[in-house]
């Protein structure tokens, strides 16, 4: 049987490798950007071949932001990383794969699109969830992934914390609030998409804390008659950053095309693609055009409230950090 | 999440356990004891139980089977065909699906052929010779059965990862093992390691060494003895082991997931693609791939049944002489 299969397999492999692009890029990204990059890659490939006459093939890998960073550190040959939060790229930079000043190399914190954290609730909003403090009411089941593994979950957690600190005025009260919130969480998935599937497909929970783009996508996929998006008055400005992985790009000789790829985000076309996929664009013109697609939310940044990612990571999500303390009880 | 993919593997694993138990070396005394039990049971045949009890037992068995085997299978196929036969085949013709099928076949071919060679050698050494450390070798062969697949995958990350023992050297020489086909093949070889050896050892032990001794005393060389005497005797058992090995190789999820890197159209095997498509709300495509794996399981079952019959025949003296 093997003797019969082997030539067949060899034939198939040969047939598929007959087509080869001038450049191949591997983009290692986080969970909910699958649809976004499917669109963006198509646009970039067309634009690049028009401009330079060269063909590019872009391969994608998606997963929880933290575990994707880990894979790149372990040797996954990513030319570019497009992760959920700066800390994960910092972790790659700490191993010398990315230059330390990576976040200064592209404008706007190297985050060409942004998002925020919103609530996805079931039709008619039966538990009347309007704002963050509704989440700690008894009997409300909240779905969020695990902040230890998921970038989106860390944004969820920090958004809740930022709200509580502003409303109640102290870090202690914020800690109590977040602890109460996690008491209402029945399951912690490892990635944002896993949580969405838990909430949407398996019907677990009353409210899903989600990336705004993820909430819109779920609504598009399953119909507005099933789910409603509730935007809280105050939330966090989530900045998913992008970077060229210097070590890999230099070795493969793909630096120029990798840089062109990331810069394409800052064009009108790139910004429009972000907006179409429910990521908040940075470009003011495109932002105005898509104004109605996004709820008005007051946004605070991680630098304002937490003093940047490195500090937030250490205080909250490190070994024995605040998340460990509250989740133990 | 692995509900769709776990179809093949745990079943295959169970079969492997069951079969090793079946074939397990049974010393004459034990066999006599089991005969006595069988005779005792025969005198109180189940068919002599009162009607209602018989009915309840049969109903229990059937409903158990329906819930745990038939129903999931039906769901897989129903979901796969829920948008019609065209959508089903369109999903399978997607470049990503084709690449996953290709990769799965390639990895299975590599790991099954290597494990075939290794398994036969190991079983031969263990069953036909006595040497110190034999029990230890058997334990080693069984190791992949008792280690969680995720750990099996992580071991390879520790060895071949950029931060691992050989990582720097591999990177410097531009050799890609992890997050590429070699890594996936290695992880698969590791988890499917015991199948061939395990299905051959009891069989070869039972057959003993007399025929080989006869061949050698008649002037045959070692290799001749192996190919003319040993191999024909174990062929059905060997096929059986290869079959189970193949089922597991194609269905493996955990270990492969750790070393794959999940590069679209490049390092995703079928079980990994099932999960990815499911998470992208592409349920038809997801279950279409899952249905291929389920079909593999069904084919494996049928072939396995046939092989088991051959094995039974082969073990009786009349069968062996033919």
Q: How far apart are CA B210 and CA B207, in angstroms?
A: 8
Q: Is residue B285 part of a domain?
A: yes
Task: Mark yes or no for CB contact B164/A74 under 8 Å.
Answer: yes
The residue that leads in pLDDT, B24 or A36, is A36
Q: Is the pLDDT of residue B7 over 50?
A: no
> Do A307 and A225 fall into the same domain?
yes
Reduce the DSSP state of residue A77 to 3 states and report it.
coil
Q: Which range, of A176-180, B61-65, B303-307, averages the lowest pLDDT?
A: B303-307
> Residue A26 sits in which domain range?
2-112+240-293
> Do A256 and A207 fall into the same domain?
no
Q: ∠ at Cα A33 (B253, A42), nearest 5°?
A: 105
Residue B159 distance to chain A (closest CA, Å): 10
Q: Name residues whose C-beta falls within 8 Å of residue A120's C-beta, 6 or more positions apart in sequence.
A: A196, A199, A200, A207, A208, A210, A215, A218, A219, A227, A228, A229, A230
Chain B residues within 8 Å of chain A (Cβ atoms): 1, 98-99, 102, 105-106, 109, 112-113, 116, 157, 160-164, 167, 170-171, 174, 176, 178-179, 261-266, 276, 278-281
Q: What sections of A55-191 are H helices per DSSP?
A: 65-73, 86-94, 102-105, 151-168, 171-183
Average pLDDT, chain A: 91
The residue that leads in pLDDT, B215 or B10, is B215
> In chain A, which residues have their Cβ closer than 8 Å to the Cβ of B276?
62
> Do A248 and A324 fall into the same domain?
no
User: Residue B98's closest CA among A218, A15, A93, A47?
Assistant: A15
Q: Is residue B94 part of a domain?
A: yes
Q: What is the pLDDT of residues B53-109, one digit of tens each?
A: 889 999 999 999 999 889 999 999 999 999 999 999 999 999 999 999 999 999 999
- What is the CATH classification number for the domain harbouring B310? 1.10.3720.10
Tokens of A328: 């133990």
Structure letter (DSSP) for residue A148 = T
Instruction: Quote the pLDDT of residue B317.
Output: 45
Tokens of B225: 């003895």
> What phi-psi label fits residue B262: left (phi over 0), alpha (psi between -120 and 50 degrees) or beta?
left
Task: Mark yes or no for CB contact A34/B280 under 8 Å.
Answer: yes
> What phi-psi label fits residue A296: left (phi over 0), alpha (psi between -120 and 50 degrees) or beta?
beta
Instruction: Quote the pLDDT of residue B28.
Output: 43
> Do A215 and A132 fall into the same domain?
yes
Q: Which range, of A77-91, A103-117, A211-225, averages the lowest pLDDT?
A: A211-225
Residue A162 distance to chain B (closest CA, Å): 30
Q: Name residues whose C-beta falls within 8 Å of residue B140's C-beta, 6 or more positions apart in sequence.
A: none
- Give the count of domains, chain B: 1
> Do A194 and A304 fall into the same domain?
yes
Long-range pairs for A323-329: beta carbons < 8 A, 24 or more residues apart: A323/A147, A323/A148, A323/A157, A326/A175, A326/A178, A326/A179, A326/A182, A327/A182, A329/A179
- Structural contact between residues A246 and A146, judged by C-beta atoms closer than 8 angstroms: no
Task: Mark yes or no for CB contact B163/A95 under 8 Å.
Answer: yes
Q: Is residue B177 part of a domain?
A: yes
Closest Cβ opposite residue A59 in set B105, B167, B265: B265
> In chain B, which residues have their Cβ closer than 8 Å to the Cβ of A63?
262
Chain A residues within 8 Å of chain B (Cβ atoms): 2, 5-6, 8-9, 12-13, 16, 26, 31, 34-35, 59-63, 71, 73-77, 95, 193-194, 197, 221-222, 251
Nearest 10 degrees: Cα torsion A119, A123, A128, A130: 30
Interface test with B, best of A9, A34, A218 (most B CBs within 10 A): A9
Q: Is the pLDDT of residue B296 over 50?
A: yes
Residues in chain B: 322
Q: How far apart are CA A305 and CA A165, in angstroms?
A: 9
Task: Mark yes or no for CB contact A197/B279 under 8 Å.
Answer: yes
> Do A215 and A322 fall into the same domain?
yes
How far apart, in Å, do the first and last CA atoms of chain B sit? 49
Q: Is residue B115 part of a domain?
A: yes
Closest Cβ opposite residue A76 in set B1, B179, B276: B179
Instruction: Quote the pLDDT of residue B322.
Output: 36
Mean pLDDT along residues A178-204: 91
Task: Mark yes or no for CB contact B261/A13 under 8 Å.
Answer: no
Q: β-strands A80-82, A242-244: how paired?
A: antiparallel
Mean pLDDT along residues B112-140: 92
- What is the CATH classification number for the domain harbouring A288? 3.40.190.10
Q: Is residue B133 part of a domain?
A: yes
Interface test with A, best of B239, B241, B264 (most A CBs within 10 A): B264
A46: pLDDT confidence band, cut at 50, 70 and 90? Answer: very high
Q: Is the pLDDT of residue B237 over 50?
A: yes
> Taking the CB of residue A21, how many other CB atoms lie within 10 A of it?
13
Q: Is residue B80 part of a domain?
A: no
Q: Is the pLDDT of residue B210 over 70?
A: yes
Q: Is residue B89 part of a domain?
A: yes
> Do A207 and A265 fall into the same domain?
no
Compute φ and ψ for B32, nearest 5 degrees. Answer: -65, -40
A224: pLDDT confidence band, cut at 50, 70 and 90? Answer: confident
Residue B106 distance to chain A (closest CA, Å): 6
Q: How far apart are CA B139 and CA B149, in angstroms?
A: 17
> Do A227 and A272 fall into the same domain?
no
Q: β-strands A23-30, A80-82: how paired?
A: parallel
> In chain B, which residues have their Cβ closer than 8 Å to the Cβ of A19?
none
Reduce the DSSP state of residue B100 to 3 states and report it.
helix
> Do A6 and A69 fall into the same domain?
yes
- Give the count of domains, chain A: 2
Residue with tokens 């600190």: A165
- Structural contact between residues A321 and A315, judged by C-beta atoms closer than 8 angstroms: yes
Mean pLDDT along residues A216-243: 93
Q: Is residue B75 part of a domain?
A: no
Closest Cβ opposite residue A59 in set B170, B171, B264: B264
Instruction: Quote the pLDDT of residue A143.
Output: 96
Reduce the DSSP state of residue A322 to 3 states and report it.
helix
Q: Is the pLDDT of residue B297 over 90?
A: no
> Do A91 and A136 fall into the same domain?
no
> Do A285 and A304 fall into the same domain?
no
- Structural contact between residues B198 and B20, judged by C-beta atoms closer than 8 angstroms: yes
- Structural contact between residues A41 and A58, judged by C-beta atoms closer than 8 angstroms: yes
- Structural contact between residues A279 and A272, judged by C-beta atoms closer than 8 angstroms: no
> Residue B181 sits in which domain range?
5-31+85-321
> Do A260 and A307 fall into the same domain?
no
Task: Mark yes or no for CB contact B109/A5 under 8 Å.
Answer: yes
């Amino acid at each position: 049987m093997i003797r019969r299969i082997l030539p067949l397999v060899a034939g198939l492999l040969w047939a598929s490798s007959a087509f080869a692009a001038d450049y191949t890029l591997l983009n290692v990204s986080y969970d909910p950007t699958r649809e976004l990059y499917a669109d963006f890659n198509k646009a970039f490939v067309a634009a690049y071949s028009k401009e330079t006459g060269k063909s590019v093939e872009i391969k994608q890998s998606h997963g929880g932001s933290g575990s994707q960073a880990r894979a790149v550190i372990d040797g996954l040959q990513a030319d570019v990383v497009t992760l959920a939060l700066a800390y994960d790229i910092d972790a790659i930079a700490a191993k010398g794969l990315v230059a330390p000043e990576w976040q200064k190399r592209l404008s706007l914190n190297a985050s060409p699109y942004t998002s925020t954290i919103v609530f996805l609730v079931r039709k008619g909003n039966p538990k009347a969830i309007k704002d963050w403090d509704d989440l700690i009411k008894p009997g409300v089941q909240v779905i969020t992934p695990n902040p230890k593994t998921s970038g989106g979950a860390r944004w969820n957690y920090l958004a809740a914390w930022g709200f509580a600190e502003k409303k109640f005025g102290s870090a202690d009260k914020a800690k109590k609030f977040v602890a109460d919130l996690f008491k209402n969480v029945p399951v912690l998935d490892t990635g944002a998409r896993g949580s969405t599937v838990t909430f949407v497909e398996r019907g677990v929970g009353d409210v899903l804390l989600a990336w705004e783009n993820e909430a819109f996508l779920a609504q598009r996929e399953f119909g507005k008659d099933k789910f409603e998006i509730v935007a809280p008055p105050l939330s966090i400005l989530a900045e998913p950053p992008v970077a060229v992985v210097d070590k890999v790009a230099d070795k493969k000789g793909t630096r120029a095309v990798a840089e062109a790829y990331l810069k394409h985000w800052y064009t009108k076309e790139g910004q429009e693609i972000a907006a179409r996929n429910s990521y908040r664009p940075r470009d003011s013109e495109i932002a105005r055009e898509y104004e109605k697609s996004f709820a008005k939310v007051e946004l605070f940044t991680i630098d304002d409230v937490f003093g940047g990612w490195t500090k937030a990571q250490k205080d909250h999500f490190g070994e024995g950090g605040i998340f460990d303390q509250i989740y133990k009880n | 999440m692995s509900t769709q993919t776990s179809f093949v593997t745990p079943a295959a694993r169970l079969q492997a356990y069951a079969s090793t138990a079946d074939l397990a070396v049974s010393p004459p005394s034990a066999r006599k004891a089991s005969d006595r039990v069988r005779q005792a049971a025969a005198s109180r045949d189940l068919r002599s139980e009162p009607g209602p009890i018989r009915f309840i037992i049969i109903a229990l068995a059937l409903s158990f089977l329906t819930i745990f085997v038939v129903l999931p299978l039906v769901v897989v196929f129903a979901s796969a065909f829920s948008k019609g036969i065209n959508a089903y085949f369109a999903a399978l013709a997607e470049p990503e699906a084709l690449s996953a099928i290709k990769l799965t076949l390639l990895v299975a071919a590599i790991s099954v052929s290597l494990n075939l060679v290794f398994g036969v050698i190991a079983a031969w050494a263990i069953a036909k010779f006595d040497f110190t450390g034999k029990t230890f070798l058997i334990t080693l062969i069984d190791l992949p059965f008792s280690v969680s697949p995720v750990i099996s995958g992580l071991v390879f990350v520790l060895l071949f990862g950029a931060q691992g023992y050989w990582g720097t050297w591999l990177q410097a020489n531009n050799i890609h093992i992890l997050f590429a086909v070699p890594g996936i093949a290695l992880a698969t070889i590791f988890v499917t390691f015991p199948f061939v050896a395990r299905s051959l050892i009891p069989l070869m032990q039972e057959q003993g060494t007399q025929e080989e001794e006869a061949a050698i005393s008649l002037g045959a060389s070692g290799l001749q003895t192996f190919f003319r005497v040993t191999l024909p005797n174990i062929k059905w058992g060997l096929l059986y082991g290869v079959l189970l090995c193949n089922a597991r190789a194609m269905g493996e999820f955990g270990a492969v997931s750790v070393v794959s890197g999940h590069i679209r159209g490049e390092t995703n095997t079928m079980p990994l693609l099932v999960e990815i498509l499911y998470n992208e709300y592409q349920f038809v495509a997801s279950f279409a791939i899952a249905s291929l794996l389920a079909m593999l399981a069904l084919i494996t079952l049928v072939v396995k049944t046939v092989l088991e019959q051959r094995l039974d025949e082969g073990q009786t003296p009349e069968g062996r002489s033919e």
